[in-house]
């Protein structure tokens, strides 16, 4: 019988095992709680500095994006796969008018088909005429024949009439065939349906299924209204939004500028990097997305011209508003005014005190609650406090390494 309270090797071993289990459980419990704290909801939102949004940091270089001027409308045409193209009558970059000839088909084959079809039609007409003569001759013989031969002549006439009906049908089909061949000859030249500039000529006529590129035989950009197509990468997409005013800069003459507004960001179609990399910001690792700028005026711009796109942060009229003037849509004024702001890596509602308004520019003066160093988010219905915030202007070294590894 064991004595109560006596220390034995068995008790010592049990206590050691229990302590080890508690340590292990505590370690994993700590890791679980730590991870839960870091990824409490798994949602992230990009934030941008107030200085950037208000143009307070324009003393340096504002982020610029490369773009190209294009038409608001394009028209493409592909040849009939059954016909052979004889000649292309235009070149890339050439201006064409509506109704101008673009290319022609080889009509030699059509001419041969037409000649054969016409000979066949003549043969069918001759056979039908011969049947008419036969039917007329049988009818005369029937009148002179005895009564017991009348039925035999009637049968022969019916047979000839049936053959004649078949010939009439064959003649109708052959005439339709000839008309079709004649139409092909008459329409051997294909004409442009719009006035514009020939953007591309793709003699192979095949499409790029991977990128979804339009590789039509001939593609024409319509002259008239112009827009600018730019690209933004996934790290900087937070700086571009629909409705953002932008300044379009000439690459040749910095003094030449145009104004416009972002009308669409195509998040559905990623691109590898069709234009030059973004200037004045981070690298272009990861996915790129096209966005489109509608111009308020396009005098002096040409289709295909390469330009720079720069968010209009008030850098051209920085002296017009002193202090912090924020675009009104960043401010929630349903109750007490606030903005969605970063607080130590988490999204919070930050109260602000409002001052004057500029309804023409859609800006509101912030008297208190924000500094130029604060980071705020573009307001969306999906935002809520506690979301993880990411600075749209920078990436961590870990993110950069991960992107480089994905691209390798």
DSSP, residue by residue, 308-372? EEEE--SGGGGGGS-SEEEEGGGSB-SSS-EEEEEETTEEEEEE-EEEEEETTTTEEEEEES--T
Question: Which of 257, 290, 312 corresponds to the end of one domain?
Answer: 312
Q: Quick check: is 133 in a domain?
A: yes
CATH number, domain with residue 253: 2.40.30.170
What is the per-residue pLDDT for 206?
52
Q: Does the pLDDT at position 236 exceed 80?
A: yes
Q: Quick check: is 382 in a domain?
A: yes
Residue 226: band (very low, low, confident or very high) from pLDDT cuts 50, 70, 90: confident
Mean pLDDT of the chain: 79
- One domain for residues 325 and 307: no
Residue 254: band (very low, low, confident or very high) from pLDDT cuts 50, 70, 90: confident
Residue 384: band (very low, low, confident or very high) from pLDDT cuts 50, 70, 90: very high
Q: Does the pLDDT at position 134 exceed 90?
A: yes
What is the per-residue pLDDT for 353?
93
Q: Does the pLDDT at position 408 exceed 90?
A: no
For the residues 232-255, what does the mean pLDDT come to?
88
Q: Does the pLDDT at position 343 exceed 50?
A: yes
User: Cβ–Cβ contacts within 10 Å for residue 286, how many?
Assistant: 20
Q: Does the pLDDT at position 39 exceed 50?
A: no
What is the per-residue pLDDT for 281?
41
Here the tokens at position 183 are 């139409």
CATH number, domain with residue 323: 2.40.420.20
- One domain for residues 292 and 244: yes
- One domain for residues 302 and 347: no
What is the per-residue pLDDT for 398?
42
What is the per-residue pLDDT for 62?
66
- One domain for residues 245 and 176: no
Indicate the number of domains in the chain: 3
Phi-psi domain of 93 (left: phi exceeds 0; alpha: psi -120 through 50; beta: other): left
Q: Does the pLDDT at position 7 exceed 70?
A: no
Residue 82: band (very low, low, confident or very high) from pLDDT cuts 50, 70, 90: confident
Q: Does the pLDDT at position 278 exceed 80?
A: no
Rounded Cα–Cα distance for residues 226 and 69 (Å): 7
Q: Quick check: is 27 in a domain?
A: no
- One domain for residues 168 and 236: no
Using alpha carbons, select from 262, 260, 248, 241 the residue that is nearest to residue 329.
241
Q: Does the pLDDT at position 32 exceed 80?
A: no
- One domain for residues 307 and 343: no
Q: 374-405 in b/e burial notation, b at 16+ Cβ within 10 A?
A: bbbbbeeeeeeeebbbbbbbebeeeebeebee
Residue 397: band (very low, low, confident or very high) from pLDDT cuts 50, 70, 90: very low
For the residues 52-73, what does the mean pLDDT come to?
74
What is the per-residue pLDDT for 288?
86
Q: 214-237 in b/e burial notation, b at 16+ Cβ within 10 A?
A: ebbbbbbbbbeebbbbbbbbbbbb
Q: Quick check: is 83 in a domain?
A: no
Q: Does the pLDDT at position 36 exceed 60?
A: no
DSSP 8-state class, residue 83: S
With pLDDT > 90 as the criterion, what percentage of the chain qualifies?
40
- One domain for residues 278 and 340: no
Whether 102 contacts 90, CB under 8 Å: yes
Where in the sequence is the domain holding 273, given as residue range(s)? 65-72+224-312
Q: Does the pLDDT at position 63 exceed 50?
A: yes
Q: Does the pLDDT at position 99 exceed 80?
A: yes
Using alpha carbons, select from 220, 224, 296 the residue that is nearest to residue 263.
296
Q: Whole-model pTM?
A: 0.40
For the residues 342-361, what does the mean pLDDT come to?
91
H-helix segments, 187-245: none
Q: Quick check: is 81 in a domain?
A: no
For the residues 75-94, what does the mean pLDDT come to?
89
Whether 92 contacts 198, CB under 8 Å: yes
Q: Quick check: is 87 in a domain?
A: no
**Measured CA distances, 331 to 51, 209, 371 (Å):** 16, 44, 15
> Vertex 177, ends 171 and 183: CA angle to 5°?
135
Q: Quick check: is 23 in a domain?
A: no
Q: Which of 178-182, 298-302, 343-347 has the lowest mean pLDDT?
A: 298-302
Question: Which of 312, 328, 348 corresponds to the end of one domain?
Answer: 312
Q: Quick check: is 286 in a domain?
A: yes
Question: Which of 285, 312, 339 corresponds to the end of one domain?
Answer: 312
Q: Does the pLDDT at position 195 exceed 80?
A: yes
Rounded Cα–Cα distance for residues 339 and 337 (Å): 7
Here the tokens at position 294 are 């509608």
Residue written as token pair 């929630």: 332
Whether 244 contacts 330, CB under 8 Å: no
- One domain for residues 49 and 115: no
Here the tokens at position 194 are 């719009």
For the residues 101-122, what does the mean pLDDT come to?
91
Higher pLDDT: 175 or 75? It is 175
> What is the DSSP pairing of strand 288-295 with strand 95-96?
unpaired
Rounded Cα–Cα distance for residues 198 and 347 (Å): 50
Residue 253: band (very low, low, confident or very high) from pLDDT cuts 50, 70, 90: confident
Residue 320: band (very low, low, confident or very high) from pLDDT cuts 50, 70, 90: low
Give tens-digit pLDDT for 295-317: 988 888 887 899 999 998 766 65
Using alpha carbons, select from 123, 131, 134 the residue that is nearest to residue 174.
123
- One domain for residues 294 and 355: no
- One domain for residues 273 and 352: no
Higher pLDDT: 258 or 53? It is 258
Residue written as token pair 């999906």: 382
């Amino acid at each position: 019988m064991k004595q109560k309270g006596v220390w034995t090797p068995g008790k010592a071993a049990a206590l050691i095992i229990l302590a080890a289990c508690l340590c292990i459980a505590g370690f994993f419990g700590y890791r679980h709680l730590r991870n839960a704290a870091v990824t409490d909801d798994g949602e992230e939102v990009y934030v941008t500095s107030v200085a950037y949004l208000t143009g307070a940091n324009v003393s340096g270089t504002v982020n610029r994006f490369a773009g190209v001027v294009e038409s608001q409308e394009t028209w493409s045409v592909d040849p009939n796969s059954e016909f052979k193209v004889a000649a292309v009558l235009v070149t890339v970059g050439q201006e064409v008018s509506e109704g101008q000839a673009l290319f022609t088909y080889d009509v030699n084959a059509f001419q041969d088909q037409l000649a054969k079809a016409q000979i066949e039609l003549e043969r069918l007409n001759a056979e039908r005429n011969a049947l008419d003569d036969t039917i007329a001759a049988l009818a005369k013989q029937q009148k002179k024949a005895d009564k017991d031969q009348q039925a035999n002549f009637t049968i022969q006439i019916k047979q000839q009439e049936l053959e004649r009906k078949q010939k009439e049908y064959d003649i109708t089909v052959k005439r339709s065939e000839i008309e079709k061949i004649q139409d092909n000859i008459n329409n051997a030249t294909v004409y442009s349906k719009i006035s514009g500039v020939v953007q591309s000529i793709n003699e192979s006529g095949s499409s790029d299924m991977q990128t979804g590129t339009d590789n039509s035989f001939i593609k024409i950009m319509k002259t008239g209204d112009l827009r600018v197509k730019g690209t933004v990468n996934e790290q900087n997409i937070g700086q571009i939004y629909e409705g953002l005013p932008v300044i379009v800069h000439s690459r040749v003459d910095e003094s030449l500028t145009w104004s416009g507004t972002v009308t669409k960001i195509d998040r559905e179609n990623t691109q590898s990097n069709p234009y030059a990399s973004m200037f004045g910001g981070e690298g272009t690792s990861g996915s790129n997305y096209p966005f489109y700028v509608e111009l308020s005026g396009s005098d002096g711009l040409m289709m295909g011209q390469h330009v720079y796109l720069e968010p209009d942060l008030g850098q051209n009229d920085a002296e017009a508003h002193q202090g912090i003037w924020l675009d009104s849509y960043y401010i929630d004024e349903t109750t007490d005014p606030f903005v969605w702001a970063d607080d130590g890596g988490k999204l919070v509602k930050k109260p602000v005190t409002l001052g004057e308004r500029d309804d023409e520019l859609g800006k509101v003066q912030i008297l208190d609650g924000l500094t130029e160093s604060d980071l705020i988010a573009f307001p969306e219905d999906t935002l809520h406090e506690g979301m993880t915030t990411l600075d749209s202007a920078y990436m961590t070294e870990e993110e950069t390494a991960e992107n480089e590894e994905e691209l390798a």
